[in-house]
Amino acid sequence: EDQVTQSPEALRLQEGESSSLNCSYTVSGLRGLFWYRQDPGKGPEFLFTLYSAGEEKEKERLKATLTKKESFLHITAPKPEDSATYLCAPRGNDYKLSFGAGTTVTVRA
Amino acid sequence: KAGVTQTPRYLIKTRGQQVTLSCSPISGHRSVSWYQQTPGQGLQFLFEYFSETQRNKGNFPGRFSGRQFSNSRSEMNVSTLELGDSALYLCASTSFSGTDTQYFGPGTRLTVL
């Protein structure tokens, strides 16, 4: 069965204090690892898709990287508007997304 | 391009009732997936429909069902509601035409009293 573990569960950062979120996964036949951002009471918002180990993608202050067993989401010099829950979801051979529990990031001004 | 829309946005029902939620995918998208999100269990996959056929199913009881119409719009139904069915129900659509990203709607907040 696919397993996804995100750590830490919660992260409190000072504005400008960079950090990384971890997503460890076990899935049969990875067909992409997806990162989403979710604000309270809203649907997840797509951020990145990574397909192969060594791949990196960037968007503003966010950079996602992928290895064979983990993905990292690096937040560089975060701002309060980066506060959200970040979800990772690998997709396996069955084309289903398996979501982790998420990391809730709070950035204080 | 309009995003995924879900109706209604909020619902309050009582135990034993049934409910139908609706999802309209992004124009041109043919796949719709449904998820249940609760604080304790996170986002859990319910089922996926592609071209009016259920292609994948999660581990939910038969009280949860869905269907997809020829215009790709989808509905999910929950019968004999239980208190534990209170959740945010999300639908996501995919194009499967080169990019296979799932784009989510805003969700329907269901409260069962």
Asked if the model's pLDDT at residue B67 lies above 60, the reply is yes
| φ, ψ of residue B26 in degrees (nearest 5) | -60, 140
pLDDT tens, A7-20? 999 999 999 999 99
A41–B88 C-beta distance less than 8 A: yes
Q: Give the pLDDT of residue B93.
A: 94
| CB < 8 Å to B99, chain A | 49
* DSSP β-bridge partners for residue B16: none
Q: Nearest C-alpha of chain B: how many angstroms from A46? A: 7
How far B61 CA lies from chain A's nearest CA (Å)?
Answer: 18
* Residue B98: predicted pLDDT: 44
Pairwise CB contact (< 8 Å): A46 & B103? yes
Please report residues of B whose CB lies closer than 8 A to that of A43.
4, 90, 92, 104-107
Q: Do A101 and B42 touch (CB under 8 A)?
A: yes
Q: What is the pLDDT of residue B100?
A: 81
pLDDT above 90 covers what percent of chain B?
83
Q: What pLDDT, on the 0 to 100 scale, is given for residue B2? A: 81
DSSP A46-99: EEEEE-STT-EEEETTEEEEE-SSEEEEEE-S--GGG-EEEEEEEB-TT--B--
pLDDT digit string, tens, across residues B10-44: 999 999 999 999 999 999 999 999 999 998 889 99
Residue B96 reports pLDDT greater than 90: no
Is B107 within 8 Å of A43 when comparing Cβ atoms?
yes
> Does B97 have pLDDT greater than 70?
no
Instruction: Name residue, tokens 């859990």.
Output: B44
Rounded CA-CA distance B68/B94 in Å is 14
pLDDT of residue B26: 95
A101 close contact with B: CB closer than 8 A: yes
Cα–Cα nearest to B93, from B56, B57, B49: B49
Q: What is the band of A94 on the pLDDT scale with cuts at 50, 70, 90?
A: confident
**A19, two tokens:** 């950090």
The Cα-based distances of A94 to A2, A27, B48, B82, B85 in angstroms read 10, 10, 11, 30, 26
Residues of chain B found within 8 Å of residue A41, distances taken between Cβ atoms: 88, 107, 109
Q: Are A48 and A66 in contact (CB under 8 A)?
A: no
pLDDT attached to residue B99: 53
Q: What is the pLDDT of residues A46-73, one digit of tens each?
A: 999 999 999 999 999 999 999 999 999 9
Least confident range of A82-91, B34-43, B80-89: B34-43
Tell me if B101 and A96 make a contact (CB, 8 A cut-off): no
Q: Do B102 and A94 touch (CB under 8 A)?
A: no
Tell me how far the alpha carbon of residue A107 is from its chain's centroid.
16
Q: b/e per residue, A27-59, with b = 16+ CB within 10 A? A: beebbbbbbbbbeeeebbeebbbbeeeeeeeee
Q: Taking CB atoms and an 8 Å limit, are A96 and B48 in contact across chains?
A: yes
3-state SS class at B86: coil
Strands B103-104 and B87-94: antiparallel
CA distance B42 to B65: 20
Chain B residue at shortest CA distance from A89: B43
Question: For residue A19, what pLDDT is reported?
Answer: 98
What average pLDDT does this structure show over B68-96?
95
